[in-house]
Amino acid sequence: MHRKRPKYLNLIEIKLPLPAVISILHRVSGVLLFFPGIPILLYSLQMMLDSPQSHDEFYTVLAGLPVKSVLVLFLWFFMHHLCAGIRYLALDLHYGIELEQARMSSRLVLVAGVVLTLLVGIVIW
């Protein structure tokens, strides 16, 4: 049986399964935590420890709505990366490798990342 494959594949119309989306988001969140995340964290630490004036200036900057929004976004990167990383550790130990379990754990990662972000975001807001 010979199937006729599409000659020109439209990659935008392809719907990825949820575990693939979670995998892509895990990689993207890891990259974004590493590159802009670490330099921003180090610069913030430098501002907090430099002098009392720079410490006060740092907290003034943190009080702004755009900065808080970016912090919540980075918080979601971290929470998603953490939850997905735990999922991948479980998959490496051969837990949840069946198709339905993998789909359920992907949904759980997505929901847990958002819920944890909202909980911690409310506390730090």
Picking from 18, 40, 42, 43, the residue whose alpha carbon sits closest to that of residue 113 is: 18
State the CB neighbour count (10 A cutoff) for residue 109: 25
Residue 22 C-alpha from the chain's centroid: 9
d(CA 100, CA 76): 25
Give the residue among 71, 120, 119, 91 at the shortest CA–CA distance from 26.
91
pLDDT at 6: 61
Mean pLDDT over 88-115 rounds to 97
18-32+64-124 topology per CATH? 3 helical TM bundles of succinate and fumarate reductases (1.20.1300)
118 within 8 A of 31, measured Cβ to Cβ: no
User: Is the confidence at residue 65, as pLDDT, over 70?
Assistant: yes
Q: At which residue do the structure tokens 């049986």 appear?
A: 1
pTM: 0.85
Cα separation values, 62 from 26, 55, 104, Å: 27, 11, 37
pLDDT tens, residue by residue, 3-48: 777 677 777 788 899 999 999 999 999 999 999 999 999 999 999 9
Helix axis angle, 52-62 to 38-50, nearest 10°: 130
pLDDT at site 1: 62
pLDDT the model gives residue 9:
72
- Going from N- to C-terminal start, the domains of the chain cover 18-32+64-124
Confidence of residue 71 (pLDDT cuts 50, 70, 90): very high
DSSP 8: S
Q: What is the 8-class DSSP label of residue 63?
A: T
Mean pLDDT score, 52-68: 93
Residue keyed to tokens 């998603």: 80
